[in-house]
Amino acid sequence: GAGVSQTPSNKVTEKGKYVELRCDPISGHTALYWYRQSLGQGPEFLIYFQGTGAADDSGLPNDRFFAVRPEGSVSTLKIQRTERGDSAVYLCASSLFGVGGGNEQFFGPGTRLTVL
Amino acid sequence: GESVGLHLPTLSVQEGDNSIINCAYSNSASDYFIWYKQESGKGPQFIIDIRSNMDKRQGQRVTVLLNKTVKHLSLQIAATQPGDSAVYFCAENYGPDGGTSYGKLTFGQGTILTVHP
């Protein structure tokens, strides 16, 4: 079956521009997560959705970052006024359930964002 | 803040050997731990998990050991194969304010495993 997909796979932008990164979770998965991974580091949690609502956005680094999941399926991570320090691989994951943990998170291949 | 860390950043083994990858965690409230494998250009792939009420769990060629006394986690890979070469991450899961966890994962830095034929 289809796994988690992310588009685009690569995004190159200029400092100060706005970008949107898309995540298509596995069908039926209620929980969706965004992580950011810098070179040589483990993924870093950004935000967690349960259904349409952001249950935990404590990992978003500042107010330039925002994410939505309006219909409880596809999610978009939006970054305003991009900075060079935003360059990283942005990973999306989904799981069948969220609350209670212990539910395997399936990761997408990531979007590599490069801010020039 | 509290975090998950790894003792060894790189590990090189010969094909057929057993591999052991270690991880130290510092959050005593963590109740769920997962090992992920990440190949170049791909997202992390689930290997095996373990809950805090267990100290050992076995999968196919892999075993995870949890020692809560010293807050240590290890991944053992039996008969390591070249296809096992990747970066391995441990991750811990705990809920906000020590409450019910919901899958927010905190990852360690990772260990690079290289298997030589």
Can you read off the two tokens belonging to residue A56?
């935990």
Domains contained in chain A, number: 1
CA–CA separation, B95 vs A95, rounded Å? 16
pLDDT at B2: 40
**Does B114 have pLDDT greater than 70?**
yes
Q: Which residue did the predictor score with more confidence, B104 or B111?
A: B111
Domain extent for A54: 12-94
Under an 8 A CB cutoff, do B45 and A107 touch? yes
Q: Which two tokens stand for residue B91?
A: 């991750």
Of A33, A40, A101, the CB nearest to B31: A101
pLDDT the model gives residue B56: 97
pLDDT mean over A96-114: 83
Q: What CATH number should be reported for the domain whose range is B4-96+107-116?
A: 2.60.40.10
**pLDDT number for residue B3:** 45
Amino acid at B81: Q
From B2's Cα to the closest Cα of chain A, the distance in A is 13
Answer yes or no: do B105 and A31 touch at CB < 8 A. Answer: no
Residue A52 domain flag: yes
Kindly state the tokens that stand for A24. 């298509």
Q: Which residues does residue B81 pair with via DSSP β-bridges, in sequence order?
A: none
Q: Can you give the pLDDT at residue B57?
A: 97
Give the rounded percent of residues in chain B with a pLDDT score beyond 90.
67
CA A55 to chain CA centroid, Å, is: 14
Q: Do B43 and A91 touch (CB under 8 A)?
A: yes
Banded pLDDT at B6 (limits 50, 70, 90): very low
Mutate to test the interface with A, among B6, B31, B102, B106 (most CBs of A within 10 A): B102
Give the tens place of pLDDT for each residue, A15-34: 999 999 999 999 999 999 99
- Among A4, A101, A107, the residue with its CB nearest the CB of B103 is A101
**pLDDT of B101 strictly over 60:** no
Per-residue pLDDT, B1 = 36
- At B108 the pLDDT is 86
* 3-class secondary structure, A59: coil
Banded pLDDT at B4 (limits 50, 70, 90): low
The three-class DSSP label of residue B96 is helix
* Residue A18 maps to a domain: yes
Q: Which of B93, B103, B108 sits opposite A42 (nearest CB)?
A: B108
Give the separation between CA A91 and CA A67, rounded to whole angstroms.
13
Show me where the domains of chain B are located: 4-96+107-116
Residue at A27 is within a domain: yes
Burial of B99 (C-beta count, 10 Å sphere; 0-12/13-18/19+): exposed
| Structural domain contains residue A7 | no
* More confident call, B94 vs A76: A76
Say which residues have a Cβ less than 8 Å from residue A62's Cβ, sequence separation at least 6.
none
Choose the mutation target among A107, A111, A112 for the interface with B, i.e. most B CBs under 10 Å: A107
The rounded mean pLDDT for chain B is 87
**Chain A environment of B104 (Cβ under 8 Å):** 33, 45, 48, 56, 59
Mean pLDDT within B31-52: 92
Q: Average of pLDDT values for B96-103?
A: 55
The overall average pLDDT reported for chain A is 93
List, for residues A87-102, the tens digit of each pLDDT value. 999 999 999 886 555 5
d(CA A95, CA A107): 9
CATH code where residue A80 lies: 2.60.40.10
Question: Would A104 be classed as within a structural domain?
Answer: no
Summarize pLDDT for B46-91 with one digit per residue, the tens. Answer: 999 998 899 999 999 999 999 999 999 999 999 999 999 999 999 9
Q: Where does the pLDDT of residue B96 fall: very low under 50, low under 70, confident under 90, or very high at 90 and above?
A: low
Closest CA to A107 of B36, B71, B29: B36
The span from the CA of A35 to the CA of A58, in Å, is: 12
Alpha carbons A98 and A94: distance in angstroms, whole number: 9
Q: How many CB pairs (< 8 A) connect A and B?
A: 79
User: Does residue A86 register a pLDDT over 50?
Assistant: yes
